């Protein structure tokens, strides 16, 4: 690792620390400001914190790796899913913002509890959200430790890297709350998106140039669609998974509550697809790497390897910064969201019902520290079951999407229907990953398709067989929607 790279990395970490300190000094000592920045985000900050949260390390390692291994066949499902995801952002997010402004909700389970009038459903919804967020939280210090160790040729030990990044994230989440997260996410998001285009231009101009590489890729069959792993069923499954999972991720759902005005939310929704397509350059880098650095055993290292071989030394430091940005901007949101849900939806209802806002504020901080330490400890040697849960995580969140849609769009949806939907869907997911349910039951699709189909059928059937919430509770929501959309 060159001196320029180290300097670049140090400057980046100091900038993150400085932004966190600046934001913390402007934080108000109350729950709403700590969890939601007083619902005052503007278009740019909301847009970038949303993007930075969703663009994880997978974006800069997994996407190029998949393109390196499978060619452009993977692009169809991801592109369709990303566009559909933006649509789900609108149909779920807009109504979430409306009820959040009207009734001052803080967390996703709180919305579910109020809409259906069921603490049991809210508890299951919250527990599922926390369980399927935890694996991704654990993977962030793992990724940071390995990235810093690899790029420094072992100068920065894995333990030092994972510990240092965990402490930095914990500092600005603990000290500055969502205000600090949203501002650091904005900084990190701008770095990530700019880097993607710069890398594509650098790598695309390497070797014999863009035109020659595209010709070689065409000859290799890398530009063919529907080949290998990426059958139409798999492509559809990925599009489906991306579309219905992202809006119900608790850290994403929470961001729908933070827009300053309806105008901010609408503009954020309108511009978001452009940010999604800004990840296309890293896919092309993966394609170019097939030509420039063939034969890689670890496809996920395609972008890093191509940079090391063809980019200026300074880019290695920027690459580490981008990788850390992707990891940190996901981990910080997950920590704060878990702290908010645990405090608001479990501690307050069951342990101290009359807890004042300041008590909740400090309980949330304690929970955040506890989960950060847990993630850091598990990062040393993740148990096998945790890795399996990691593979289930996106699908596990996708299973609760029928409930998220029904609470805003179907008056006859019941708490019993939603609870049955979530339980049966999650049983199918867990059964598949523990091999109790054979892969043949998926009929060539990813497990998300039959799991969500089962959850949807259960929701409809049980809701039709049980009594809906009282009319007053239904009117509380649908009269509001009718006034806005009617």
Q: Provide the CATH number for the domain around residue 353.
A: 1.20.1730.10
Classify residue 392: in a domain, yes or no. no
- Evaluate whether 170 touches 24 at the Cβ level (below 8 Å): no
The pLDDT value recorded for residue 119 is: 95
Classify residue 36: in a domain, yes or no. yes
The pLDDT value recorded for residue 105 is: 94
Classify residue 312: in a domain, yes or no. yes
Classify residue 428: in a domain, yes or no. no
Classify residue 415: in a domain, yes or no. no
- Evaluate whether 361 touches 339 at the Cβ level (below 8 Å): no
Classify residue 412: in a domain, yes or no. no
Written as tens digits, the pLDDT of the chain (486 aa) is 556 667 777 888 888 889 989 988 888 878 889 999 999 999 999 998 988 888 776 777 778 888 888 888 777 777 788 778 888 888 999 999 999 999 999 999 999 999 999 999 999 999 999 988 887 788 778 777 766 776 666 777 888 888 888 898 888 898 889 999 999 989 988 888 888 888 888 888 887 878 888 888 888 888 887 667 788 898 899 889 888 988 899 999 999 999 999 999 888 888 877 777 777 888 888 899 999 988 888 777 788 788 778 877 777 677 777 777 777 888 889 899 999 999 999 999 999 988 888 888 899 999 999 999 988 888 776 555 544 556 678 899 999 999 999 999 999 999 999 999 999 999 999 999 889 999 999 999 999 999 999 999 999 999 999 998 999 999 999 999 999 987
Q: Please, which residues have CB within 8 angstroms of residue 260's CB and are 6 or more apart in sequence?
A: 39, 40, 41, 42
Classify residue 408: in a domain, yes or no. no
Give the domain extent around 307. 3-382
Give the chain's domain count.
1
Classify residue 453: in a domain, yes or no. no
Q: CB atoms < 10 A from the CB of 411, how many?
A: 13
Q: CB atoms < 10 A from the CB of 287, how many?
A: 25
Token couple for 341: 């849900």
What's the burial of 223, exposed, middle or buried (CB within 10 Å: 0-12/13-18/19+)? middle
Q: What SS3 state is found at 461?
A: helix
The Cα 294–Cα 326 span in angstroms is 26
The pLDDT value recorded for residue 328 is: 83
The pLDDT value recorded for residue 150 is: 62
Q: CB atoms < 10 A from the CB of 120, how many?
A: 12
């Amino acid at each position: 690792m060159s001196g320029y790279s180290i300097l670049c990395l140090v400057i980046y970490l100091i900038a993150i620390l400085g932004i966190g300190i600046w934001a913390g000094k402007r934080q108000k000592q109350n729950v709403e400001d700590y969890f939601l920045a007083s619902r005052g985000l503007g278009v740019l900050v909301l847009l970038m914190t949303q993007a930075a949260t969703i663009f994880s390390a997978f974006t800069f390692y997994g996407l190029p790796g998949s393109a390196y291994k499978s060619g452009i066949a993977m692009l169809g499902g991801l592109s369709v899913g990303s566009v559909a995801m933006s649509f789900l952002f609108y149909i779920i997010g807009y109504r979430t913002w409306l009820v959040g402004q009207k009734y001052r909700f803080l967390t996703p389970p709180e919305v579910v509890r109020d809409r259906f009038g069921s603490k049991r459903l809210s508890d299951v919804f919250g527990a599922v959200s926390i369980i399927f967020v935890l694996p991704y939280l654990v993977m962030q210090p793992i990724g940071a430790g390995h990235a810093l160790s690899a790029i420094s040729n072992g100068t920065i030990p894995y333990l030092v890297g994972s510990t240092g990044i965990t402490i930095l994230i914990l500092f600005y989440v603990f000290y500055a709350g969502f205000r600090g997260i949203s501002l650091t996410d904005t900084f990190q998001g701008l770095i990530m998106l700019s880097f993607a285009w710069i890398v594509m231009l650098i790598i695309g101009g390497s070797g014999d140039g863009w035109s020659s590489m595209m010709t070689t890729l065409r000859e290799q069959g890398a530009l063919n669609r529907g080949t290998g792993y990426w059958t139409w069923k798999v492509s559809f499954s990925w599009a489906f998974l991306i579309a219905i999972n992202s809006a119900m991720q608790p850290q994403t759902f929470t961001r729908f509550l933070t827009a300053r005005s309806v105008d901010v939310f609408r503009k954020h929704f309108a511009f978001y697809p452009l940010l999604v397509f800004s990840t296309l350059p890293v896919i092309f880098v993966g394609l170019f790497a097939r030509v420039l650095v063939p034969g890689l055993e670890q496809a996920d290292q395609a972008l890093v390897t191509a940079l090391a071989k063809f980019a200026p030394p300074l880019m290695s430091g920027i690459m580490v910064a981008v990788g850390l940005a992707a990891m940190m901007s996901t981990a910080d949101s997950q920590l704060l969201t878990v702290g908010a849900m645990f405090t608001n939806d479990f501690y307050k209802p069951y342990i101290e019902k009359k807890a004042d806002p300041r008590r909740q504020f400090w309980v949330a901080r304690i929970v955040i520290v506890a989960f950060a330490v847990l993630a850091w400890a598990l990062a040393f040697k993740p148990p096998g079951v945790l890795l399996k849960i990691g593979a289930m995580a996106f699908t596990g969140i996708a299973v609760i999407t029928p409930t998220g849609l029904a609470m805003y769009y179907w008056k006859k949806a019941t708490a019993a229907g939603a609870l049955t939907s979530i339980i049966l869907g999650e049983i199918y997911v867990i059964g598949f990953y523990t091999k109790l349910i054979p892969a043949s039951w998926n009929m060539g699709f990813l497990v998300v398709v039959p799991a969500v189909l089962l959850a949807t059928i259960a929701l409809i059937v049980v809701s039709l067989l049980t009594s809906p919430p009282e009319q007053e509770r239904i009117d509380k929501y649908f009269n509001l929607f009718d006034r806005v959309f009617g």
